[in-house]
Amino acid sequence: MADQWATLGIDLHLEPTGPGLRRGLTDALREAVRSGRLAPGTRLPSSRALAADLGIARNTVADAYADLVAEGWLTARQGSGTRVADRTVVPPAGTAPHARARSRPVYDLRPGSPDLASFPRALWLKAARRALTAAPHDALDYGDPRGRPELRAALAGYLSRARGVRADPERIVVCAGFAHGLKLLGAVLRARGARTVAVESYGLDAHRRILAASGLRTVPLPFDRLGTDPAALSAADAVLLTPAHQFPMGVPLHRDRRAAVVDWARRTGGLVLEDDYDGEFRYDRQPVGALQGLDPDRVVYLGTASKSLAPGLRLAWMVLPPGLAQETTAAKGGTEICGVLDQLTLTEFLTSGAYDRHLRATRLRYRRRRDALVDAVAARTPGARVTGIAAGLHVLLRLPPGTEQSVVQAAHWQGLAVHGLTRYRHAAALAEPADALVVGYGTPPDHAWSGALDALCAVLPG
């Protein structure tokens, strides 16, 4: 019978101390409530279950519960069991107060995230059910560190068809987001003896920090209307680029410069890291193909589901040159760290055509948002100019010289989250700083989009 009761109720860690079991148990329960370890409303195990867990008499537990009910720490109702009372708990002296939570912005126009409200929950759930039903038992075991073979095969077909990537499933490694992939590549490059990685003058500081943490120095390349200029690549061992849609400037890398980057890699043995973060979202003509298609032996292609589906999935992939695939897999470790069920679900999503249908629908939605943003800025704030609008989930909103900081501050006061271009500039970039906002139009849900536009136009200089 004791074994039966031991399976009932929640697990509860208690260490009764002091003279007598009843007093020790009472003190331990009281302290667990007072310290906040047992939150108000928590249902405690039955007296039988807790007695079985602690190896003591049931009456001892029942008496301790009764004492704490009388003191107001617990409540007991017929049919509801014994619960922690809903009361204000004063933390013990010396306990540091919790940091006050920062208020969320009313509108969020920061770049980097899609409209999470548009995540295809029903279709994803349907795909997950089908994938789990069809999955072999060994899919739930420790897997290949490169990722599930079904997903790598599906990605190879999709990337070849949609992005012009020359992909072999054996050279695809699934990783937990772009940052994870970049960290692995940084470790491999450093182990190969690399010292310097060229980066774009404007880009994510988080990526530069990842490379620096791997022991690699980053040097910025010049930037102009044709995109990043590879002329200064001679001193680098590798280069990190966003060639399809430069982040955050929004221009594609000119075809002559694409060829120049590949020529540099072939001539010097350097490596090109291609960040194709939003290559699927192009609105006015066919997407720019992946740079990797020009030379799969010198270009590493990195893609992600963060913009097309959701960052929280933590799913990304690398298509690697033959020699690099094995080293990167070894750097990842002995087993995969990406959730198998999500990998199988994405496989089903890709092979069933649901991914393509989802992209077409979201592409149309984001294009409408982009058009509304461009029209609103043109109509209400002729002093601002929108560029980089052909693709992606953000635009660059050029501002009059000297106004960026004041506009960002005004936006903050109005509850509008938006980033200035300055935060993305490499500290060693030689070009003159430009005043602009990097406006993400993917994040707000549909019902908040018009309000976000109004808030943005209200803080722009006239």
Tell me the average pLDDT across 59-86.
88
Answer with the residue of higher pLDDT: 19 or 121: 121
For residues 300 and 262, is the Cβ–Cβ distance under 8 A?
Answer: no
Alpha helices in 135-275 (DSSP H): 149-163, 178-191, 205-213, 255-268
Check residue 394 and give its pLDDT: 95
- Strand 74-77 to strand 81-84: parallel, antiparallel, or no bridges (unpaired)? antiparallel
Q: Residue 265 pLDDT > 60, yes or no?
A: yes
The pLDDT confidence band at residue 293, using thresholds 50, 70 and 90, is very high
**Residue showing tokens 């548009």:** 118
Which helix (DSSP H) or strand (DSSP E) does residue 423 occupy? none
Q: Which residues pair with 240 in a beta bridge?
A: 273
Check residue 262 and give its pLDDT: 96
Check residue 101 and give its pLDDT: 46
* CA–CA gap between residue 172 and residue 155 (Å, rounded): 8
Q: Beta strands of 210-298 (E only): which ranges?
A: 217-221, 223-224, 227-228, 238-241, 271-275
Tell me the average pLDDT across 322-331.
90
Check residue 5 and give its pLDDT: 43
Answer with the residue of higher pLDDT: 288 or 292: 292
Half-sphere exposure of 405 (CA within 13 A, CB side): 2
Structure tokens at 417: 């989250």
The pLDDT confidence band at residue 78, using thresholds 50, 70 and 90, is confident
Q: Which residues pair with 358 in a beta bridge?
A: none
For residues 384 and 421, is the Cβ–Cβ distance under 8 A?
Answer: no
56's torsion region: left (phi>0), alpha (psi -120 to 50) or beta? beta
Q: Beta strands of 288-393 (E only): which ranges?
A: 299-304, 316-319, 385-387
Burial class (CB in 10 A: 0-12, 13-18, 19+), 385: middle
144's torsion region: left (phi>0), alpha (psi -120 to 50) or beta? beta
Answer with the residue of higher pLDDT: 53 or 351: 351
Structure tokens at 41: 């409303």
Check residue 16 and give its pLDDT: 80
Alpha helices in 72-217 (DSSP H): 121-134, 149-163, 178-191, 205-213
Answer with the residue of higher pLDDT: 2 or 454: 454
Q: 3-class DSSP state for residue 154?
A: helix
DSSP-assigned letter for residue 394: E
Answer with the residue of higher pLDDT: 146 or 285: 146
Check residue 336 and give its pLDDT: 62
Q: Residue 292 pLDDT > 80, yes or no?
A: yes
Check residue 11 and give its pLDDT: 81
The pLDDT confidence band at residue 335, using thresholds 50, 70 and 90, is low
* CA–CA gap between residue 195 and residue 184 (Å, rounded): 15
Least confident of 66-75, 88-97, 343-352, 417-426: 88-97
∠ CA(64), CA(66), CA(68), 5° rounding? Answer: 70
Please list, residue by residue across 359-380, b when 16 or more beta carbons sit within 10 angstroms of its beta carbon and e when fewer do: eeebbebbbebbeebeebbeee
Please give the span between the terminal C-alpha atoms of the chain, in angstroms, as a whole number.
79
* CA–CA gap between residue 380 and residue 388 (Å, rounded): 19
Report percent pLDDT > 90 for the chain: 68
Q: Residue 2 pLDDT > 50, yes or no?
A: no
Answer with the residue of higher pLDDT: 14 or 230: 230
The pLDDT confidence band at residue 7, using thresholds 50, 70 and 90, is very low
pLDDT digits (tens, 9 = 90+) for 89-110: 555 555 555 544 456 889 999 9
Tell me the average pLDDT across 267-272.
94
pLDDT digits (tens, 9 = 90+) for 376-427: 999 888 778 899 999 999 999 999 999 999 999 999 998 999 999 999 999 9
pLDDT digits (tens, 9 = 90+) for 194-219: 999 999 999 999 999 999 999 999 99
Tell me the average pLDDT across 296-315.
95
DSSP-assigned letter for residue 146: T
Tell me the average pLDDT across 241-259.
94
Q: Residue 8 pLDDT > 60, yes or no?
A: no
Answer with the residue of higher pLDDT: 216 or 285: 216
